[in-house]
Amino acid sequence: MTYDLKVLKSVGINMVRKHIKVEPALYYKACDEMGLLVIQDMPSLRPDLPDPNGGCGIIRLEGPDQQKEFNRELVLLVEQLKNYPSIFAWTIYNEEWGQDVRTAPEFGLTDMVRSIDPTRLVNAVSGWSDSGAGDFDDNHHYSTPQCGTPFWSRQGSLPEGGDSAYDESRIALQGEFGGIGMYVEEEQ
């Protein structure tokens, strides 16, 4: 684990996003010692892929009891890891996994995370359904990375009809990218 982090640091990477899981203490201690910044995600429901209906396989929390448990575990995550200086931001939801886009719980959860740890930034929603909560406007563009450029815009995604990609009060972040490939024609 520390070898991987050292390789990342040696090639000039200075930040990692810990997505889908929480690492053992050794990981965060190593990031602290190496000076690697960490965005720590709250592990959330992962969609079953492939979706039998051909969609992206979104799974929502099923009712208030599941949301209450998600909230409880988010508190535990922040409390458990808030003493590692390498963590500079918390991510609540990734790509609608467990996010109820009808009620936008990310506003209350952002406030809750800030009440536990007022020293760090909050990325309420990484990619997809961003309602304007938190400190980031986090785009996920795998083959065309960009942040707040005219090429990519979510006109009307904010309640006032504004464009969250140009919200000057929030940080533009390219939260996920990669999978870049090139079509190679077969030689005849």
Q: Given CATH 3.30.930.10, say whether it is the number of domain 2-176.
A: no
pLDDT at position 137 is 85
Task: Name the nearest CA neighbour of 58 among 95, 102, 106, 92.
Answer: 95
pLDDT at position 82 is 98
pLDDT at position 13 is 94
pLDDT in tens, 75-130: 999 999 999 999 999 999 998 888 888 888 999 999 999 999 999 999 999 987 88
Residue 32 exposed, middle or buried by CB count within 10 Å (0-12, 13-18, 19+): middle
Relative orientation angle of helices 64-81 and 106-116, to the nearest 10 degrees: 30
Q: Where are the alpha helices (DSSP H) in 60-105?
A: 64-81
Structure tokens at 121: 């930034």
Give CA–CA dist 3/23, Å, rounded.
15
Structure tokens at 180: 């870049």
pLDDT at position 74 is 97
Look up residue 168 and give its amino acid: E
Phi, psi of 152 (to 5 degrees): -125, 125
pLDDT at residue 73 greater than cutoff 50 = yes
H/E segment holding residue 35: none
Domain ranges of the chain: 2-176
Phi, psi of 155 (to 5 degrees): -55, 125
Q: Please state the pTM of the whole predicted model.
A: 0.81
Please indicate whether residue 167 or residue 119 has the higher confidence score (pLDDT).
Answer: 119
| CA separation, residue 167 to residues 148, 171, 184 (Å) | 9, 8, 39
Give CA–CA dist 39/121, Å, rounded.
9
